[in-house]
Chains A and B, each alone.
Chain A
Amino acid sequence: MNIVVLVKQVPDTYSERKLADSDHTLDRESADAVLDEINERAVEEALQLQATHGGEVTVVSVGPDRATDAIRKALSMGADKAVHVSDEALHGSDAIATAKVLAKAVSTIEGVDLVLAGNEATDGRVGAVPAMVAELLGLPALTHARKVEVDGTAVKVERETDEGVLHLSAALPAVISVNEKINEPRYPSFKGIMAAKKKPVTTLTVADLGVDTAELGIAGSWTSVLESAPKPPRSAGQRVEDEGDGGTKVAEYLVGQKLI
């Protein structure tokens, strides 16, 4: 079974994330970049499925040059090869533009049975790119999976959201997004890290994919940011030590604020 995993490099949530004043895009210099944690879980799921069903695991990423680090991490976990779409024209692309490029990139890989992704990226929190890729490829989208089972040409998923748990099924090929509780991703071994250095990474431009640059970047995207402003940080208010009356003090504060 051939599996593609969509992986995204995101600013580390531990570092400060900023928007550039000039064009409201992510200031990539200001934050450390990491492979989004949820994508490690998607890679883990792909490797577990590969262990049972065989086939190849290819990671696909759309992002600037330094996304190579995220790709290497996925390869060092055990993925076989990678496709990296990197192009100046992509700067500032929104979710739809990104999904279009991802769908084209997936189409360059032959005999794909399954596309795995995270359910939501920690930066944009769009939570829709996997479904949009499925829409573009005409494939079923089984999203927010906490459990995945492949049986011959069919796939079964337990989808967990606020609406409860849904037991889903669809025919392969399909797109699946996984949630945070699906598995515990493995740590790359030393051997894995060394091996990753030799694994093939195909770098493509948008021209290679035949995507019209008029549909990409800040100018070509489907949405535009008109203004952005950092929100003034919250400041600390009152603080008291509990001297046996801490609960009463909170109650008095809440009464003062007309909250109770």
Chain B
Amino acid sequence: MAEVLVLVDHVDGEVKKVTHELLTAARLIGEASAVVVGAPGTAAKLRDALAAHGAAKVYVAESDDAATQLLTPEVDVLAALVAQASPAAVLVAASASGKEIAGRLAIRIGSGVLVDATEVNADATVGQSIFGGAYNVKAKASKGVPVISVRPGAVEAANAEGAAAEETVAVPAANAASVVTINSREPLAAGDRPELTEASVVVSGGRGVASAENFAVVEALADALGGAVGASRAAVDSGYYPHQFQVGQTGKTVSPQLYIALGISGAIQHRAGMQTSKTIVAVNKDAEAPIFEIADFGVVGDLFKVAPQLTEEVTKRKG
């Protein structure tokens, strides 16, 4: 069976959930090989998690440069492995970095790149959801080894035993002219909440929340539901909530089981980032707000009354 390369997304010595999803998708197409690129000592910490999700092989590409150069080490390692292993496909997460790695790799190896797949099939064709979920398309790579970036949360991760046999590979020497050096990192205050694109519940606040302090109301409901917090662009632009939590056309695309919109009008650009959510609940004091056109359950009312009451009810039911 042909190998399928999966680029491992990791942070602080832990495998990100999306990697488990990619390994699951990879096993549909062929034999999953995890590719770890990072500082020396990285792979040892990740191996057990990769084995538990069906990685037959773990390629270990470690060097000091790999941790201090932006994205080119990943591209270089994957390109070398494609030449060595002739895989059936290469899968990476459709994160900001993953999309770039996939694009560059495809150019490097003369392949087609399929961006932000929401479905991966056994023949390496993919499903995609475009224009903010208005269209579904099916696509394939017409040349080379398909390079696919897969949307986090699109595939359900399944456990499977994998041998996770380690094989060391060299990180090729960087091309000096195109190196980008990472001088320092400011990690985002991770907090205890799930990641926005991975969460099964997202509670978002809009301009109606009216201040940064008031976002505590949104956070309290998110915490009661074990969810992530999102924001509309108007809320971000007004400085109520940080940019990385923006949902919509130019922010994150989320597709949780439950999306709760508080004080959000539901402009088309906001809907583009959340309308594929399974269930949508909206609270808005304007009965005419377009968000109600797509809400499964809408409350016309003041979010400062409705949300705290809901938080209390949820907390009560959790016992």
Interface residues, chain A, CB within 8 Å of chain B? 13-14, 17, 19, 24, 37-38, 94-96, 99, 119-120, 122-129, 131-132, 134-136, 138-144, 159-171, 174, 179-181, 221-231, 233-242, 244-251, 253-255, 257, 259-260
A226 and B140 alpha carbons, distance in the complex (Å): 7
* Interfacial chain B residues near A165, Cβ < 8 Å: 185-186, 188
B84 at the interface (CB under 8 A from A): no
Question: Given A131-B104, A239-B292, A242-B301, does the pair A223, B70 have CB atoms closer than 8 Å?
Answer: no
Q: With A246-B305, A248-B313 known to touch, is A168 a contact of B181 (CB < 8 Å)? A: yes
Interface residues of B in 60-107 (CB under 8 A from A): 70-71, 75, 95-97, 99-100, 102-104, 106-107
Interface-located stretch among B109-117, B159-167, B206-214: B109-117
Does the CB pair A128–B188 fall under 8 Å? no
Least CB distance from A169 to B in Å reads 5
The answer to whether A247 and B313 touch across the interface, beta carbons within 8 angstroms, is yes
| B11: interface (CB < 8 Å) | yes
CB-defined contacts of B243 to chain A, threshold 8 Å: 160, 179-181
Which residue among B112, B114, B197, B257 has the maximum number of chain A CB atoms within 10 Å of its CB? B112
0/1 interface trace, chain B 147-165, chain A, CB 8 Å (1 if under): 0000000000000000000
CA distance A251 to B318 in the complex (A): 12
Q: A132-B103, A161-B95, A236-B292 are in contact. Are A231 and B268 (CB under 8 A)?
A: no
Is residue B298 contacting chain A, with contact meaning CB distance below 8 A?
Answer: yes
Nearest 4 pairs of A and B residues by beta carbon: A242-B301, A247-B309, A128-B103, A222-B112
The answer to the question of B49 belonging to the interface, with a C-beta cut-off of 8 Å to chain A, is no
CA distance A63 to B7 in the complex (A): 33
Contact at A227–B137, with CB atoms within 8 Å?
Answer: yes
- The bracket for how many chain B residues form the interface is 35 or more
In-complex Cβ contact of A247 among B96, B140, B310 (8 A): B310
In the bound complex, CA of A160 to CA of B246 (Å): 13
Question: Is B281 among interface residues, defined by CB-CB distance under 8 A?
Answer: yes
The A/B interface has a contact count, at CB < 8 Å, of 270
A99-B107, A166-B185, A180-B250 in contact; A238/B306 too (CB < 8 A)? no
Summarize A's interface: helix, strand, loop or mixed.
mixed
Chain A residues whose C-beta falls within 8 Å of the C-beta of B202 in the assembled complex: none
**Is A143 in contact with B133, judged by CB distance below 8 angstroms?**
no
Known contacts: A222-B144, A239-B298. The answer to whether A162 contacts B95 by CB under 8 A is yes
CB-defined interface of B296-318 with A at 8 Å, one 1/0 digit per residue?
11111110011111111110011
Whether the pair B140, A223 counts as a contact (CB closer than 8 A) is: yes
| In the complex, chain A residues whose CB is within 8 Å of the CB of B196 | 162
Interface assignment of B258: CB less than 8 Å from any CB of chain A: yes
| Residue among A126, A128, A163, A244 with max Cβ neighbours from chain B (10 Å) | A128
Q: Cβ of A237 and Cβ of B298 under 8 Å apart?
A: yes
- Neighbouring B residues of A37 by C-beta, 8 Å: 250
A232 vs B127: C-alpha distance when bound (angstroms): 16
- Give the segment of B21-29, B40-48, B51-59, B171-179 that binds chain A: B171-179
CA distance A13 to B250 in the complex (A): 11
Chain B residues with Cβ below 8 Å from A236 are 292-295, 298
| Residue in B107, B137, B299, B313 whose CB lies within 8 Å of A96 | B107
Residues from 186 to 203 in B contacting A, C-beta threshold 8 Å = 186-188, 195-197, 201
- Of A99, A163, A229, the residue contacting B187 (CB under 8 A) is A163
Known: A162-B244, A225-B139. A169 touches B180 (CB 8 A): yes
Q: Nearest residue in A to B146 (C-beta to C-beta)?
A: A223
Complex A-B: 11 CB contacts under 8 Å: A95-B103, A125-B115, A125-B130, A134-B104, A143-B96, A161-B95, A162-B197, A181-B243, A247-B306, A248-B313, A260-B314
* Interface residues as binary, B260-295 with A (CB distance below 8 Å gives 1, 0 otherwise): 000000001100100100011101000100001111
B225 contacts partner chain A, Cβ-Cβ < 8 Å: yes
Answer whether A234 and B244 are a contact pair too, CB < 8 Å, given A141-B71, A170-B179, A242-B300: no
**How far does the alpha carbon of A109 sit from the alpha carbon of B178 in the complex, in Å?**
19
B266 CB → nearest A CB, Å: 11
